[in-house]
Structure 1
Amino acid sequence: MNNIPLLKAFKKDTWVKPFLKKYRKALVLALVLGFLTFFSAGALMFNSGYLISRAASLPENILMIYVPIVFTRGFGVSRPVFRYVERLVSHNWVLRMTSQLRLKLYTTLEKDAIFFKRNYRMGDILGLLAEDINHIQNLYLRTIFPTVIAWILYAFLIIGLGYFSWWFALVMALMLFIVTFLLPLWSVLVNGARQEQEKQLKNALYTDLTDNVLGISDWIFSQRGQEYVQLHEESEAGLLKVQDKLRRFNRRRNLLLQSVFGIIVVLLIFWTSQQFVGNHGGAANWIAAFVLCVFPLVDAFAVLPDAAQETNIYKDSLERLNDLPEKADIEPVTALTGPLDIEVQDVSFRYEKGTRQVLDHLNVTIPQGEKIAILGRSGSGKSTLATLIRGDLIPNSGQLTLAGVETYRLGDTISDYIGVIQQAPYLFHTTILNNLRIGNEQASIEEVWTVLERVGLKELVEKLPDGLDTMVDEAGLRFSGGERHRMALARILLKDTPIVLLDEPTVGLDPITEQALIDTFFGQLDGKTVIWITHHLQGIEKMQRVIFIEDGHLEMTGSPQELAKTNVRYQKLKAIDDGR
């Protein structure tokens, strides 16, 4: 009853449900071991209570307490053994399942990256990997396993008490019904929505924080650093408010739960004193036995309210996984013919339904061979436009074409036409030669040395002990930022792509290194189409055209010389950039 939202999500689930059947034997074994753990704990306290009371009453024969001693030893050993084995089995089951889930998620992202990124940002992807898979793992460890085990214990206890007294069994059935069903249902109705809201706020915070950190340079450049901090603090304040409400409700509910168990203990004392008076050596022997066995069983039932209210979190995670886009069929595209012009025709794009338009009916034409700079503050849409040009995203409406073919249809062959140099070019933990040949594995040694000379790294590499066979540290940390960018340029020159996309490659470099790198870039990329995503105007005079994107719209366009004379906004940006 309290898991209805989760059950609805399970009906159309294709991610988690298949593993219930695949690993059903381990699942059943984990549940049985969990029940035996709590049964052994309760039986241990039952026998211990009886043994203590019976021994204190000076039995006529020591053999009368021998059997309780044996049972106490047996249950004392079996409880930790069952607990240990249950943990091994349940965690092994869950880890095997989640490892398969991660593999399936990685496969989905790898095969359908274009369609996935159409609806999700980088923070969403990390959220799926870091949050939702862990929530699915907790679905079993913290909700399904404890709930099913508690239900089995509930039935077992009521049947066992019914053997002694049917009316008292009904009383206990009612009391345990409050703990097993009513309190969890109350938690779902009152706190479940809050917990789901908490998860959504965390997901949003995780997504925004990831994207904003990746674009922190834009925030700083646009002098909106304080605004960024304020937005983050507002998001955190909303999350803390929801968490405070959760904690206050949990404290009240836990007080009620402990009160119910207190009433159960009082009822057991009353019932055993009446039920066993004058029998089996006196009521005191059985009072201790029945009352003490309650305390280890509290652990089995006390977790149910928390387990129930978390089902909304798991429902959301299941829905996010099952809402991942199916692989779409794309007709293969042969080699492009004709001028490699880029046409952005009435393109609109947003990442999720209900969010603002990142690009709104944008129109831009980039002829083959043109050098164009794309400016804009953080969130203006310039990076999204670059991603669309690479074919990593699909417009919600409009078309973005290269030589008349929509870029996303080019698939992996897009790398034959567009080379990219990003903010932080990655060098792999292999030789310099292998790093440079990534774009063109057939390149000769002579060609490699030629491009190294063109980018100004030949002398540096010649001085290294092993030359081209020198191992590069992970991420290329042995090289400076400027040197890594020159390595990336050398890759592109070996690949000889006709279009080069520079995604803010000079961020974080000192002015001298930046200017030297800009000179190298545009000196070696002569004749190619160059698309420069930047917020920094140093070297902008080397471009043939500058466009400025604001809130998804094209706000200004023209040559640097024209804008410097006629556009007040450009003049202000240039003055800020020059430090005037």
Structure 2
Amino acid sequence: MFKIPLFQSLKTDQWVKPFLHQYKKALYLALFLGFMTFFCAGALMFTSGYLISRSASLPENILMIYIPIVLTRAFGIGRPVFRYVERLTSHNWVLKMTSKLRLKLYLTLEKEAMFFKQTYRMGDILGLLAEDINHIQNLYLRTIFPTIIAWILYVFVIVGLGFFSLWFALVMTILFFGLVVVFPLVSVLMNGARQEREKQVKNALYIDLTDNVMGVSDWIFSQRSQEYVASYLENEQQLYHVQNELRRFNRLRNYFFQLYIGLMAVSLILWTSQRFVGNHGGAANWIAAFVLSLFPLIDAFAVLPDAAQETNVYKDSLNRLNALNSQATPEDSALPIQTLTIQLKNLSFHYPNESKMVLNGLDLTIPQGQKLAILGRSGSGKSTLATLIRGDLAPTDGFLTLGEVPTNQFGDQIANYIGVIQQTPYLFHTTILNNLRIGNEEASVEEVWHVLERVGLKKLVQRLPDGLQTMVDEAGLRFSGGERHRMALARILLQDTPIVLLDEPTVGLDPITEQALIDTFFGELKDKTIIWITHHLQGINQMERVLFIENGQIELAGSPAELAATSPRYRLLKAVDEGR
């Protein structure tokens, strides 16, 4: 009964259960080899015990000990061989299965990234990758395989004892029942919740550590680094406390488990002494055989309590992975849009578990071809607005549409309409050609050279020894900041989206490089809708419209000329930005 929650999760499972059928032959082989490993171990001790006792009693015929000698050798060789082959088979099966699980997880996350971002943070994804997939691997190696093998041995031992004594077979049925059911059940009831709590705390640490490391500069600049360290240490202490409770219970359970094994050994001694007195040279021959065979068999049952108490954790991992399928949005045919106008109507947004509105009641229309700059200080909501425009998030209230279709409904198709150049464009560890073709996999080499010329990188790439086949260092570190941004622009030009979102692409560049990059951006993107998220006013005169967002609301709006003529605040900000 203690495994019913796991069984319920497996009934609707779409991640693990299919592999039970796909690789069933290898699965059956692994189970058979696991059974034979323990069978050989028990049989080795059985024949060894009989052989030792029989040899000590001066047998009348050498054949009385010759057969046990041969069997001892056979079982002695068979045990490590079966063990080795079983490990190869089971681990090969599990690793093959988990490699496909990781591939499926990657494809699911990559395909539905926009939708997952509404629910999961980066730490959640790391938790999925680092914890849940490993738990699924352990589900087979530490729970399913050992449990099935133990039950097969259980049946085999009871049937075997039944040939000698039905009443003692019944006694051992009850005693072995304690090993395969009672101890695991107690472990689930007493330790299962702690095991699940341990996993939850670990996942929380993944989330907090990832989020805080990615935002470490904010902690440092706000002079709250000690507060962060104290918070993290407090979470670690919770984990240590849970793990200490787990270890304390496991030590106590293992102590009683060994006492229980001693009870079973005494029961075997008493039964064999009564059952075989006067037979085949004395009771000692069979006492040693039966009692010694018990101890290697116990290894098959000793792992069951730990395996059982982890079923709650495995159930949670299965549910989390299968929940990804419910988050996924099926691929629809191309969404019909009549215009490329972006419309915001009474748009408000706040993040889950936070009451503060990041954006509050925005109304805005961005017609096709408009050049719009969105300004505001850090935390004003401009980056969140950009994320909503891309469809990575859904508004809490109101609407944000592209061609009268909510942007969060486009899925992967949003990349056909909106291209993005971020603060730190990422270049992958592959060739320059492959990096640029991310924007358009069908682009020809001639088209790639053409866009490189447009962004001012053609001569640079031509001077490289391997040209377009030059390997890019991890994160593109061989290129300067300005060159990486020009590479990102080349991707956008190959992608040829009608709308381009520039998310503070010039942060960290010197003024000369920044101005040259701005001129290149606006010169090459002159026929497209441009939404420029920025924090200062260099190059602002090339925009048709400027918005200032303050505390989630639009405070100023107009063309650069209108704001220069009517807004003292705009004139002051522009003067400060220009160093006047």
TM-score if structure 2 supplies the norm length? 0.83
**Structure 2 unaligned blocks of 5 or more:** none
Q: Given that residues 382 and 549 in structure 2 are in contact (C-alpha distance below 8 angstroms), is that contact kept between their aligned partners in structure 1? A: no
Deviation at 1:241, TM superposition (A): 1.6
- 2:390 aligns with 390
Alignment of 1:474-485 (within 5 A): 474-485=474-485
Distance 1:219 1:103, change over 3 A: same
Indicate the larger mover: 170-179 or 103-112.
103-112
Q: Which amino acid aligns with 2:86?
A: E
- 2:349 aligns with 348
Deviation at 1:478, TM superposition (A): 1.9
Q: Given that residues 331 and 409 in structure 1 are in contact (C-alpha distance below 8 angstroms), is that contact kept between their aligned partners in structure 2? A: no
**Matched residue SS, 1:424:** coil
For the aligned residue pairs, the C-alpha RMSD in angstroms reads: 3.7
Count of aligned pairs between the two proteins: 557
Indicate the larger mover: 171-180 or 91-100.
91-100
Q: Which amino acid aligns with 2:213?
A: V
- 1:250 aligns with 250
Matched, 1:327 2:329: yes
Alignment of 1:271-310 (within 5 A): 271-310=271-310
Distance 1:416 1:75, change over 3 A: closer
Q: Given that residues 50 and 286 in structure 1 are in contact (C-alpha distance below 8 angstroms), is that contact kept between their aligned partners in structure 2? A: yes
Pick from 520, 524, 534: which aligns with 2:520?
524
Name the CA distance, whole Å, in 1 between partners of 2:67 and 2:278: 21
**Matched residue SS, 2:374:** strand
- 2:262 aligns with 262
Q: Which amino acid aligns with 2:98?
A: T
Deviation at 1:541, TM superposition (A): 7.8
Name the CA distance, whole Å, in 2 between partners of 1:469 and 1:305: 56
1:237-263 Cα deviation digits (max 9, x unpaired): 222221111111111111111111122
Matched, 1:176 2:176: yes
Name the CA distance, whole Å, in 2 between partners of 1:427 and 1:446: 18
Deviation at 1:31, TM superposition (A): 1.9
Matched, 1:81 2:84: no
Matched, 1:101 2:104: no
1:466-509 Cα deviation digits (max 9, x unpaired): 555644345423223443233223444565656443445466x4
Deviation at 1:289, TM superposition (A): 1.6
Q: Which amino acid aligns with 1:72?
A: T
Matched, 1:448 2:442: no
Q: Which amino acid aligns with 2:21?
A: K
Deviation at 1:315, TM superposition (A): 0.6
Indicate the larger mover: 276-285 or 514-523.
514-523
Q: Given that residues 111 and 327 in structure 1 are in contact (C-alpha distance below 8 angstroms), is that contact kept between their aligned partners in structure 2? A: no
Name the CA distance, whole Å, in 2 between partners of 1:172 and 1:446: 80
Q: Which amino acid aligns with 1:5?
A: P
Q: Given that residues 346 and 397 in structure 2 are in contact (C-alpha distance below 8 angstroms), is that contact kept between their aligned partners in structure 1? A: no
Deviation at 1:50, TM superposition (A): 1.4
Indicate the larger mover: 150-159 or 210-219.
210-219
Q: Given that residues 436 and 448 in structure 1 are in contact (C-alpha distance below 8 angstroms), is that contact kept between their aligned partners in structure 2? A: no
- 1:195 aligns with 195
Q: Given that residues 50 and 289 in structure 2 are in contact (C-alpha distance below 8 angstroms), is that contact kept between their aligned partners in structure 1? A: yes
Deviation at 1:47, TM superposition (A): 0.8
Name the CA distance, whole Å, in 2 between partners of 1:316 and 1:164: 45
Deviation at 1:372, TM superposition (A): 1.0
1:251-278 Cα deviation digits (max 9, x unpaired): 1111111111122222223332333222
Name the CA distance, whole Å, in 2 between partners of 1:97 and 1:390: 35
Q: Given that residues 343 and 402 in structure 1 are in contact (C-alpha distance below 8 angstroms), is that contact kept between their aligned partners in structure 2? A: no
1:23-46 Cα deviation digits (max 9, x unpaired): 333323322221111111001011
- 1:314 aligns with 314
Name the CA distance, whole Å, in 1 between partners of 2:114 and 2:199: 26
Distance 1:435 1:37, change over 3 A: closer
Matched, 1:365 2:364: yes
Q: Given that residues 548 and 554 in structure 2 are in contact (C-alpha distance below 8 angstroms), is that contact kept between their aligned partners in structure 1? A: no
**Matched residue SS, 1:60:** coil
The runs of at least 4 aligned residues of structure 1 exceeding 6 Å deviation read 354-358, 540-543, 555-562, 564-567
1:27-83 Cα deviation digits (max 9, x unpaired): 233222211111110010111111122222332333221111011011111112222
Distance 1:418 1:12, change over 3 A: closer
Pick from 505, 510, 515: which aligns with 2:511?
515
Matched, 1:21 2:56: no
Distance 1:264 1:412, change over 3 A: closer
Name the CA distance, whole Å, in 2 between partners of 1:381 and 1:39: 67
Q: Which amino acid aligns with 1:58?
A: L
Distance 1:260 1:337, change over 3 A: same
Q: Given that residues 115 and 411 in structure 2 are in contact (C-alpha distance below 8 angstroms), is that contact kept between their aligned partners in structure 1? A: no
Deviation at 1:450, TM superposition (A): 3.9
Name the CA distance, whole Å, in 1 between partners of 2:93 and 2:431: 41
Q: Which amino acid aligns with 1:16?
A: V
**Matched residue SS, 2:427:** coil
**Matched residue SS, 2:455:** helix
- 2:2 aligns with 2
Q: Given that residues 112 and 411 in structure 2 are in contact (C-alpha distance below 8 angstroms), is that contact kept between their aligned partners in structure 1? A: no
Distance 1:169 1:565, change over 3 A: farther
Name the CA distance, whole Å, in 1 between partners of 2:153 and 2:357: 55
Distance 1:45 1:359, change over 3 A: farther
1:528-552 Cα deviation digits (max 9, x unpaired): 7655557x76969889433245xxx
Name the CA distance, whole Å, in 1 between partners of 2:480 and 2:357: 34
Deviation at 1:392, TM superposition (A): 3.1
Indicate the larger mover: 401-410 or 76-85.
401-410
Indicate the larger mover: 363-372 or 342-351.
342-351
Q: Which amino acid aligns with 2:257?
A: L
1:321-375 Cα deviation digits (max 9, x unpaired): 222225336452356536x445264343656xx6768856552536431211354
Q: Which amino acid aligns with 1:299?
A: D
Deviation at 1:301, TM superposition (A): 0.6
Name the CA distance, whole Å, in 1 between partners of 2:484 and 2:477: 9
